[in-house]
Amino acid sequence: MKLYHYVHCPFCLRVRMVLGLFGIRYESIVLPYNDEKTPIDIMGVKMLPILTDGHFKTNESLEIIKHLDSNDVLKLRTLEGLEEFKQLENYLNQLGSNVHSLAMPYWIYTKEFDESSRKYFQEKKEIKRGPFSELVKRKEEFILALQKDLKELENQLNPFYGASTLRIYDIMIASHLWGMYVVPEFQFSTKIHDYLQKVGKECHFDYHKDFWS
Ligand SMILES: N[C@@H](CCC(=O)N[C@@H](CS)C(=O)NCC(=O)O)C(=O)O
């Protein structure tokens, strides 16, 4: 089994968390962000995560998770058609937008990037979000919006999201938030930090493992 991924990408983190949760061995391939050829050769489009497992190959995180979780331990198959699932996806889109505006200018200086992949990432992302220098100036605005969304989240934790056991929702939430740990101006509340660490622990998750081991 091979996973092609980016370290900062929340959709890739989902898959790494699930692989860790189930203790599945796999080959971890962190692609440089400016490598267009590898994903296009495998899937016809530049989008990660890509999981290949024999004849199985896909670049949709939730499809990958269904493949890995055939017994539906995480309840993805059960929950995905429900209105509450759509609501959580909408919530994560909103939250993710603030996370991206805050974290992207810092992600490009983590070990995942070199000079050329940093330039490629920044140029591509600035088309949608505007100059990173402007995003950095607006950080207070993004932090306030994110804190508001996180207060809402705190009320749902019991200790997992609306449940006493880990489900797909927790994987989706934790993977969208984890990248905020690299933003120096930001601090999680103790409750959210403890929640993220609890999810991370169950999933034997180590964000920068590919560079440290
Ligand atoms: N629906 C996909 C979304 C994956 C996705 O958006 N991946 C982004 C990284 S976070 C990507 O590969 N973007 C490539 C690019 O923009 O160059 C999933 O759930 O896996």
**Are residues 197 and 141 part of one domain?**
yes
**Are residues 86 and 67 part of one domain?**
no
Q: Which of 52, 72, 92 is the last residue of a domain?
A: 72
Q: Does the beta carbon of 35 lie inside 6 Å of ligand 1?
A: no
Mutation test residue for ligand 1: of 48, 62, 85, the one with most atoms within 8 Å of CB:
48
- Residue 42, domain CATH: 3.40.30.10
**Are residues 109 and 131 part of one domain?**
yes
Residue 198, pLDDT score:
98
Query: How do the pLDDT tens digits run along the chain, 213 residues long?
Result: 999 999 999 999 999 999 999 999 999 999 999 999 999 999 999 999 999 999 999 999 999 999 999 999 999 999 999 999 999 999 999 999 999 999 999 999 999 999 999 999 999 999 999 999 999 999 999 999 999 999 999 999 999 999 999 999 999 999 999 999 999 999 999 999 999 999 999 999 999 898 876
Residue 213, pLDDT score:
65
Q: Which of 21, 50, 72 is the last residue of a domain?
A: 72
**Are residues 128 and 89 part of one domain?**
yes
Residue 212, pLDDT score:
75
Q: Does the beta carbon of 50 lie inside 6 Å of ligand 1?
A: no
Asked if 210 and 6 touch (Cβ cutoff 8 Å), the reply is no
Residue 115, pLDDT score:
98
Question: DSSP secondary-structure letter at 181?
Answer: G
**Are residues 84 and 169 part of one domain?**
yes
**Are residues 22 and 89 part of one domain?**
no
Dihedral pair phi/psi, residue 94, rounded to 5°: -65, -50
Residue 211, pLDDT score:
85
Domain that holds residue 118: 76-209
**Are residues 100 and 154 part of one domain?**
yes
**Are residues 178 and 113 part of one domain?**
yes
**Are residues 84 and 146 part of one domain?**
yes
Residue 12, pLDDT score:
98
Distance (angstroms) between ligand 1 centre and the Cα of 186 equals 24
The count of structural domains within the chain is 2
Ligand 1 nearest atom to the CA of residue 12, by list position: 20
Q: Does the beta carbon of 9 lie inside 6 Å of ligand 1?
A: yes
**Are residues 26 and 111 part of one domain?**
no
Q: Which of 206, 183, 174 is nearest to 7 (CA)?
A: 206
**Are residues 183 and 110 part of one domain?**
yes
**Are residues 28 and 106 part of one domain?**
no
CA distance readout (Å), 109 to 81, 104, 117: 38, 9, 10
CA distance 100 to 48: 17
